[in-house]
Chain A
Amino acid sequence: MKADIVSPEGTLFSGEIDSIVVPGVNGSFEMLNNHAPIIAILGKGDVRLKGKGILIDNEVKDKFTVKQGEVVLPINSGTVEMKNNHVIVLAE
Protein backbone atom coordinates (compact mmCIF):
# COMPACT_ATOMS: atom_id res chain seq x y z
CA MET A 1 0.00 0.00 0.00
CA LYS A 2 1.00 3.58 -0.47
CA ALA A 3 1.86 5.76 2.48
CA ASP A 4 2.39 9.51 2.86
CA ILE A 5 3.59 11.20 5.99
CA VAL A 6 3.16 14.96 5.89
CA SER A 7 3.93 17.59 8.50
CA PRO A 8 3.44 21.36 8.39
CA GLU A 9 7.11 21.68 7.52
CA GLY A 10 7.01 19.38 4.55
CA THR A 11 6.44 15.90 3.26
CA LEU A 12 8.47 13.47 5.36
CA PHE A 13 7.80 10.25 3.54
CA SER A 14 6.02 9.04 0.47
CA GLY A 15 6.26 5.52 -0.89
CA GLU A 16 5.23 1.88 -0.81
CA ILE A 17 5.11 -0.01 2.49
CA ASP A 18 3.84 -3.37 3.74
CA SER A 19 2.36 -2.20 7.00
CA ILE A 20 2.25 0.74 9.37
CA VAL A 21 1.86 1.00 13.14
CA VAL A 22 0.42 4.25 14.46
CA PRO A 23 0.00 5.51 18.05
CA GLY A 24 -3.78 5.94 18.29
CA VAL A 25 -5.14 7.88 21.26
CA ASN A 26 -6.66 4.65 22.60
CA GLY A 27 -3.55 2.59 21.94
CA SER A 28 -1.25 1.69 19.09
CA PHE A 29 -2.62 -0.27 16.17
CA GLU A 30 -1.29 -1.69 12.97
CA MET A 31 -2.72 -1.37 9.50
CA LEU A 32 -2.08 -3.83 6.71
CA ASN A 33 -3.06 -3.91 3.09
CA ASN A 34 -6.80 -3.63 2.40
CA HIS A 35 -7.58 -2.19 5.80
CA ALA A 36 -11.09 -0.74 6.02
CA PRO A 37 -11.32 3.05 5.61
CA ILE A 38 -10.50 4.70 8.92
CA ILE A 39 -9.83 8.13 10.34
CA ALA A 40 -8.10 8.21 13.71
CA ILE A 41 -6.51 10.68 16.06
CA LEU A 42 -2.95 9.94 17.09
CA GLY A 43 -1.27 10.70 20.36
CA LYS A 44 2.36 10.98 21.36
CA GLY A 45 4.32 7.97 20.19
CA ASP A 46 6.07 6.30 17.31
CA VAL A 47 4.88 5.75 13.77
CA ARG A 48 6.54 2.55 12.55
CA LEU A 49 6.83 1.64 8.90
CA LYS A 50 7.55 -1.88 7.69
CA GLY A 51 8.44 -2.91 4.21
CA LYS A 52 11.20 -3.62 1.78
CA GLY A 53 13.38 -0.85 0.52
CA ILE A 54 11.85 2.07 2.38
CA LEU A 55 13.72 5.14 1.27
CA ILE A 56 13.86 8.27 3.38
CA ASP A 57 14.80 11.57 1.84
CA ASN A 58 18.23 12.72 2.96
CA GLU A 59 16.85 16.10 3.99
CA VAL A 60 14.64 14.63 6.73
CA LYS A 61 16.76 11.60 7.57
CA ASP A 62 17.61 12.77 11.07
CA LYS A 63 13.94 12.65 12.07
CA PHE A 64 13.75 8.90 11.52
CA THR A 65 15.49 5.99 13.20
CA VAL A 66 15.77 2.42 12.07
CA LYS A 67 15.01 -0.27 14.65
CA GLN A 68 14.84 -3.99 13.88
CA GLY A 69 14.11 -3.45 10.24
CA GLU A 70 11.40 -0.88 10.96
CA VAL A 71 11.60 2.78 10.18
CA VAL A 72 10.48 4.74 13.21
CA LEU A 73 9.24 8.33 13.38
CA PRO A 74 8.36 9.82 16.78
CA ILE A 75 5.42 12.24 16.72
CA ASN A 76 3.68 14.46 19.26
CA SER A 77 0.23 14.19 17.81
CA GLY A 78 -1.43 13.68 14.50
CA THR A 79 -4.19 12.23 12.42
CA VAL A 80 -4.28 9.23 10.17
CA GLU A 81 -6.57 8.49 7.28
CA MET A 82 -6.67 5.23 5.39
CA LYS A 83 -8.70 4.65 2.26
CA ASN A 84 -8.29 2.63 -0.95
CA ASN A 85 -4.96 1.26 0.24
CA HIS A 86 -3.56 4.71 0.69
CA VAL A 87 -2.62 5.81 4.17
CA ILE A 88 -1.93 9.44 4.99
CA VAL A 89 -0.43 10.46 8.30
CA LEU A 90 -0.64 14.12 9.29
CA ALA A 91 2.13 14.34 11.85
CA GLU A 92 3.06 17.13 14.21
Chain B
Amino acid sequence: MANLKDIRTRIQSVGSTMQITNAMKMVSAAKLKKAQESIEKMRPYAEKLTELLAGLSANLDAELGGDYAEQREINKVLLVPVTSNRGLCGALNSNIIKQTLRLIENDYKSQEVDILTIGKKAYEQLSKKHKVVANHGEIFDDLTYENVAKVAQKIMDDFVEKKYDKVILIYNSFKNAATQIVKTEQFLPIMTETTESNVVLDYIYEPSQAEIVLELIPKSLKTQFYKMIRDAWASEHGARMTSMHKATDNAKEMKAELTLQYNKARQAVITGEILEIVSGAEALKG
Protein backbone atom coordinates (compact mmCIF):
# COMPACT_ATOMS: atom_id res chain seq x y z
CA MET B 1 0.00 0.00 0.00
CA ALA B 2 1.44 3.34 -1.06
CA ASN B 3 1.91 5.67 1.83
CA LEU B 4 -0.42 8.55 2.52
CA LYS B 5 1.99 11.34 1.85
CA ASP B 6 2.89 10.05 -1.62
CA ILE B 7 -0.73 9.84 -2.63
CA ARG B 8 -1.44 13.31 -1.30
CA THR B 9 1.39 14.79 -3.38
CA ARG B 10 0.13 13.04 -6.47
CA ILE B 11 -3.39 14.30 -5.95
CA GLN B 12 -2.04 17.81 -5.70
CA SER B 13 0.05 17.59 -8.84
CA VAL B 14 -2.79 16.07 -10.85
CA GLY B 15 -4.99 18.88 -9.57
CA SER B 16 -2.66 21.62 -10.73
CA THR B 17 -2.19 19.96 -14.12
CA MET B 18 -5.93 19.91 -14.43
CA GLN B 19 -6.09 23.62 -13.75
CA ILE B 20 -3.56 24.33 -16.46
CA THR B 21 -5.25 22.19 -19.09
CA ASN B 22 -8.59 23.69 -18.21
CA ALA B 23 -7.21 27.21 -18.57
CA MET B 24 -5.66 26.30 -21.93
CA LYS B 25 -8.98 24.94 -23.07
CA MET B 26 -10.72 28.20 -22.20
CA VAL B 27 -8.08 30.26 -24.01
CA SER B 28 -8.36 28.11 -27.12
CA ALA B 29 -12.14 28.29 -27.06
CA ALA B 30 -11.98 32.07 -27.06
CA LYS B 31 -9.38 32.13 -29.83
CA LEU B 32 -11.34 29.63 -31.87
CA LYS B 33 -14.39 31.85 -31.76
CA LYS B 34 -12.32 34.76 -33.04
CA ALA B 35 -10.73 32.64 -35.76
CA GLN B 36 -14.13 31.46 -36.96
CA GLU B 37 -15.41 35.00 -37.03
CA SER B 38 -12.57 36.15 -39.24
CA ILE B 39 -13.25 33.30 -41.66
CA GLU B 40 -16.84 34.53 -41.82
CA LYS B 41 -15.65 38.09 -42.32
CA MET B 42 -13.52 37.40 -45.36
CA ARG B 43 -16.29 35.54 -47.14
CA PRO B 44 -17.91 38.59 -48.86
CA TYR B 45 -14.57 39.64 -50.29
CA ALA B 46 -13.65 36.17 -51.51
CA GLU B 47 -17.07 35.59 -53.04
CA LYS B 48 -17.17 38.91 -54.87
CA LEU B 49 -13.67 38.38 -56.22
CA THR B 50 -14.52 34.91 -57.51
CA GLU B 51 -17.71 36.21 -59.05
CA LEU B 52 -15.92 39.06 -60.84
CA LEU B 53 -13.20 36.78 -62.11
CA ALA B 54 -15.64 34.15 -63.31
CA GLY B 55 -17.76 36.73 -65.07
CA LEU B 56 -14.76 38.31 -66.74
CA SER B 57 -12.99 35.21 -67.88
CA ALA B 58 -16.18 33.57 -69.13
CA ASN B 59 -16.40 35.88 -72.10
CA LEU B 60 -12.72 36.08 -72.87
CA ASP B 61 -11.71 33.17 -75.03
CA ALA B 62 -7.97 33.66 -74.87
CA GLU B 63 -5.84 31.41 -72.69
CA LEU B 64 -6.15 33.01 -69.29
CA GLY B 65 -4.24 32.99 -66.10
CA GLY B 66 -1.09 34.42 -67.63
CA ASP B 67 2.13 33.33 -65.99
CA TYR B 68 0.36 31.66 -63.12
CA ALA B 69 -1.40 29.09 -65.24
CA GLU B 70 1.59 27.90 -67.24
CA GLN B 71 1.81 24.11 -67.24
CA ARG B 72 5.43 22.97 -67.36
CA GLU B 73 7.13 19.66 -67.06
CA ILE B 74 7.33 18.99 -63.33
CA ASN B 75 10.95 19.00 -62.24
CA LYS B 76 10.93 21.03 -59.09
CA VAL B 77 8.12 20.95 -56.59
CA LEU B 78 7.55 23.24 -53.64
CA LEU B 79 5.58 21.79 -50.75
CA VAL B 80 4.04 24.18 -48.25
CA PRO B 81 3.00 22.35 -45.08
CA VAL B 82 1.13 24.49 -42.57
CA THR B 83 1.37 23.56 -38.90
CA SER B 84 1.11 25.41 -35.62
CA ASN B 85 3.95 27.05 -33.77
CA ARG B 86 3.00 25.43 -30.50
CA GLY B 87 2.22 21.89 -29.49
CA LEU B 88 -0.43 20.34 -27.26
CA CYS B 89 -2.98 20.08 -30.01
CA GLY B 90 -3.33 16.36 -30.56
CA ALA B 91 -2.43 14.73 -33.84
CA LEU B 92 -2.93 17.91 -35.83
CA ASN B 93 0.69 18.59 -36.69
CA SER B 94 1.87 15.02 -37.05
CA ASN B 95 -0.89 14.42 -39.60
CA ILE B 96 0.46 17.25 -41.73
CA ILE B 97 4.03 16.03 -41.42
CA LYS B 98 3.01 12.48 -42.27
CA GLN B 99 1.18 13.66 -45.36
CA THR B 100 4.16 15.77 -46.43
CA LEU B 101 6.53 12.83 -46.08
CA ARG B 102 4.12 10.62 -47.98
CA LEU B 103 4.09 13.09 -50.86
CA ILE B 104 7.88 13.28 -50.90
CA GLU B 105 8.34 9.52 -50.81
CA ASN B 106 5.56 8.52 -53.17
CA ASP B 107 4.10 11.18 -55.43
CA TYR B 108 7.23 13.26 -56.01
CA LYS B 109 9.85 10.55 -55.65
CA SER B 110 11.55 11.40 -58.93
CA GLN B 111 11.31 15.17 -58.64
CA GLU B 112 13.37 17.61 -56.71
CA VAL B 113 11.38 18.76 -53.72
CA ASP B 114 11.82 21.93 -51.71
CA ILE B 115 9.80 22.67 -48.61
CA LEU B 116 8.61 25.98 -47.31
CA THR B 117 7.13 25.49 -43.88
CA ILE B 118 4.63 27.67 -42.15
CA GLY B 119 4.75 26.93 -38.44
CA LYS B 120 7.56 25.87 -36.15
CA LYS B 121 6.42 22.26 -35.71
CA ALA B 122 6.79 21.34 -39.37
CA TYR B 123 10.11 23.15 -39.54
CA GLU B 124 11.53 21.23 -36.58
CA GLN B 125 10.44 17.87 -37.94
CA LEU B 126 11.20 18.30 -41.62
CA SER B 127 14.40 20.33 -41.60
CA LYS B 128 16.38 17.39 -40.23
CA LYS B 129 16.14 15.25 -43.34
CA HIS B 130 14.77 17.43 -46.09
CA LYS B 131 15.54 20.68 -47.79
CA VAL B 132 13.53 23.38 -46.08
CA VAL B 133 14.11 26.71 -47.80
CA ALA B 134 12.30 28.92 -45.32
CA ASN B 135 9.95 28.98 -42.37
CA HIS B 136 7.24 31.58 -42.04
CA GLY B 137 5.82 30.65 -38.66
CA GLU B 138 5.85 34.30 -37.67
CA ILE B 139 2.73 35.05 -39.67
CA PHE B 140 0.67 33.43 -36.93
CA ASP B 141 1.95 36.01 -34.45
CA ASP B 142 0.30 38.80 -36.35
CA LEU B 143 -2.22 37.26 -38.67
CA THR B 144 -3.16 40.00 -41.12
CA TYR B 145 -3.92 39.78 -44.80
CA GLU B 146 -0.92 41.95 -45.57
CA ASN B 147 1.57 39.62 -43.90
CA VAL B 148 0.09 36.52 -45.49
CA ALA B 149 -0.04 38.18 -48.91
CA LYS B 150 3.70 38.87 -48.70
CA VAL B 151 4.48 35.18 -48.29
CA ALA B 152 2.05 34.27 -51.05
CA GLN B 153 3.62 36.87 -53.37
CA LYS B 154 7.07 35.40 -52.76
CA ILE B 155 5.87 31.93 -53.68
CA MET B 156 4.10 33.26 -56.78
CA ASP B 157 7.23 35.13 -57.87
CA ASP B 158 9.30 31.98 -57.49
CA PHE B 159 6.84 30.13 -59.67
CA VAL B 160 6.88 32.77 -62.38
CA GLU B 161 10.69 32.83 -62.31
CA LYS B 162 10.52 29.07 -62.97
CA LYS B 163 12.21 28.18 -59.69
CA TYR B 164 9.35 25.76 -59.13
CA ASP B 165 7.03 24.04 -61.55
CA LYS B 166 4.37 23.14 -59.05
CA VAL B 167 3.35 24.40 -55.63
CA ILE B 168 1.34 22.23 -53.26
CA LEU B 169 -0.29 23.35 -50.03
CA ILE B 170 -0.82 20.91 -47.18
CA TYR B 171 -2.98 22.16 -44.34
CA ASN B 172 -5.71 21.28 -41.88
CA SER B 173 -9.13 22.33 -42.96
CA PHE B 174 -11.52 23.21 -40.18
CA LYS B 175 -14.68 21.14 -40.09
CA ASN B 176 -15.63 21.52 -36.47
CA ALA B 177 -13.82 21.78 -33.15
CA ALA B 178 -13.33 18.03 -32.99
CA THR B 179 -12.61 17.28 -36.65
CA GLN B 180 -9.91 18.66 -38.87
CA ILE B 181 -9.28 17.31 -42.32
CA VAL B 182 -5.84 17.22 -43.90
CA LYS B 183 -6.10 18.84 -47.30
CA THR B 184 -3.62 18.72 -50.14
CA GLU B 185 -4.25 21.46 -52.63
CA GLN B 186 -2.49 22.55 -55.77
CA PHE B 187 -1.72 26.26 -55.48
CA LEU B 188 0.20 26.75 -58.71
CA PRO B 189 -0.15 26.40 -61.64
CA ILE B 190 -3.77 27.44 -61.52
CA MET B 191 -6.21 24.73 -62.39
CA THR B 192 -8.29 26.31 -65.11
CA GLU B 193 -11.91 25.76 -64.41
CA THR B 194 -14.51 25.84 -67.09
CA THR B 195 -16.97 28.47 -66.02
CA GLU B 196 -20.44 28.54 -67.43
CA SER B 197 -21.05 31.76 -69.26
CA ASN B 198 -23.35 33.95 -67.23
CA VAL B 199 -25.28 37.00 -68.24
CA VAL B 200 -22.83 39.82 -68.55
CA LEU B 201 -23.86 43.42 -68.42
CA ASP B 202 -22.32 45.81 -70.85
CA TYR B 203 -19.53 46.98 -68.61
CA ILE B 204 -17.04 49.74 -69.14
CA TYR B 205 -13.61 48.29 -68.47
CA GLU B 206 -10.87 50.39 -67.02
CA PRO B 207 -8.21 49.62 -68.31
CA SER B 208 -9.07 46.62 -70.54
CA GLN B 209 -10.87 43.41 -69.77
CA ALA B 210 -7.78 41.27 -70.20
CA GLU B 211 -5.70 43.53 -68.01
CA ILE B 212 -8.30 43.42 -65.28
CA VAL B 213 -8.28 39.64 -65.35
CA LEU B 214 -4.50 39.58 -65.12
CA GLU B 215 -4.72 41.92 -62.15
CA LEU B 216 -7.40 39.89 -60.42
CA ILE B 217 -5.72 36.51 -60.69
CA PRO B 218 -2.88 37.23 -58.25
CA LYS B 219 -5.40 38.81 -55.92
CA SER B 220 -7.53 35.73 -55.96
CA LEU B 221 -4.46 33.55 -55.39
CA LYS B 222 -3.50 35.59 -52.36
CA THR B 223 -7.03 35.40 -51.06
CA GLN B 224 -6.93 31.63 -51.48
CA PHE B 225 -3.67 31.50 -49.54
CA TYR B 226 -5.04 33.73 -46.81
CA LYS B 227 -8.14 31.61 -46.52
CA MET B 228 -6.00 28.52 -46.17
CA ILE B 229 -3.95 30.08 -43.36
CA ARG B 230 -7.12 31.18 -41.60
CA ASP B 231 -8.47 27.67 -41.91
CA ALA B 232 -5.32 26.19 -40.43
CA TRP B 233 -5.41 28.72 -37.61
CA ALA B 234 -8.98 27.82 -36.69
CA SER B 235 -8.09 24.12 -36.89
CA GLU B 236 -5.21 24.59 -34.49
CA HIS B 237 -7.40 26.14 -31.84
CA GLY B 238 -10.18 23.65 -32.40
CA ALA B 239 -7.76 20.76 -32.00
CA ARG B 240 -6.15 22.28 -28.94
CA MET B 241 -9.49 22.92 -27.34
CA THR B 242 -10.56 19.32 -27.88
CA SER B 243 -7.32 17.79 -26.68
CA MET B 244 -7.19 20.02 -23.61
CA HIS B 245 -10.76 19.12 -22.84
CA LYS B 246 -9.81 15.45 -22.98
CA ALA B 247 -6.78 16.08 -20.79
CA THR B 248 -8.94 17.82 -18.20
CA ASP B 249 -11.36 14.92 -18.21
CA ASN B 250 -8.56 12.41 -17.77
CA ALA B 251 -7.10 14.41 -14.92
CA LYS B 252 -10.49 14.51 -13.24
CA GLU B 253 -10.81 10.75 -13.51
CA MET B 254 -7.32 10.22 -12.20
CA LYS B 255 -7.92 12.55 -9.30
CA ALA B 256 -11.06 10.67 -8.31
CA GLU B 257 -9.21 7.36 -8.44
CA LEU B 258 -6.35 8.71 -6.34
CA THR B 259 -8.73 10.18 -3.79
CA LEU B 260 -10.37 6.78 -3.42
CA GLN B 261 -6.98 5.17 -2.96
CA TYR B 262 -6.04 7.82 -0.43
CA ASN B 263 -9.19 7.24 1.61
CA LYS B 264 -8.67 3.48 1.53
CA ALA B 265 -5.12 3.87 2.78
CA ARG B 266 -6.26 6.26 5.48
CA GLN B 267 -8.95 3.80 6.55
CA ALA B 268 -6.40 1.01 6.73
CA VAL B 269 -4.12 3.08 8.95
CA ILE B 270 -6.97 3.89 11.34
CA THR B 271 -8.10 0.28 11.47
CA GLY B 272 -4.54 -0.73 12.29
CA GLU B 273 -4.35 1.82 15.10
CA ILE B 274 -7.66 0.73 16.63
CA LEU B 275 -6.56 -2.86 16.44
CA GLU B 276 -3.37 -2.00 18.33
CA ILE B 277 -5.21 -0.07 21.05
CA VAL B 278 -7.80 -2.78 21.55
CA SER B 279 -5.28 -5.59 21.73
CA GLY B 280 -3.15 -3.48 24.12
CA ALA B 281 -6.14 -2.96 26.40
CA GLU B 282 -6.99 -6.68 26.25
CA ALA B 283 -3.43 -7.53 27.26
CA LEU B 284 -3.58 -5.17 30.29
CA LYS B 285 -6.91 -6.70 31.47
CA GLY B 286 -5.40 -10.15 31.39
* Interface contact B48-A10, CB-CB below 8 Å: no
Q: Which residue of A lies closest to B42 (CB)?
A: A8
User: How far is A44 from B211 in the complex, measured between Cα atoms in Å?
Assistant: 17
User: How far is A9 from B42 in the complex, measured between Cα atoms in Å?
Assistant: 5
Whether B204 is near chain A, meaning CB under 8 Å from some CB there, is: yes
Mostly, the B contact residues are helix
CB distance from A35 to the nearest CB of B (A): 9
Whether A33 is near chain B, meaning CB under 8 Å from some CB there, is: no
CB distance from B231 to the nearest CB of A (A): 14
Whether B206 is near chain A, meaning CB under 8 Å from some CB there, is: yes
Q: With A90-B48, A92-B145 known to touch, is A8 a contact of B201 (CB < 8 Å)?
A: no
* Interface contact B207-A92, CB-CB below 8 Å: no
* Interface contact B206-A39, CB-CB below 8 Å: yes
Binding site for A on B (CB under 8 A): 38, 41-42, 44-46, 48-49, 52, 56, 144-145, 149, 201-207, 211-212, 215-216, 219, 223, 226
- Shortest beta-carbon contacts, A-B, top 3: A40-B206, A10-B41, A8-B145
Q: List 12 A-B contacts (CB under 8 A).
A: A8-B223, A9-B42, A9-B144, A9-B145, A24-B206, A39-B203, A39-B206, A79-B49, A81-B52, A83-B203, A90-B49, A90-B52
Other than A9-B38, A9-B145, A26-B206, give 7 A-B pairs with Cβ distance below 8 A.
A4-B44, A6-B45, A8-B45, A39-B206, A41-B206, A41-B212, A90-B219
Binding site for B on A (CB under 8 A): 4, 6-11, 24-26, 36-41, 77, 79, 81, 83, 88, 90, 92
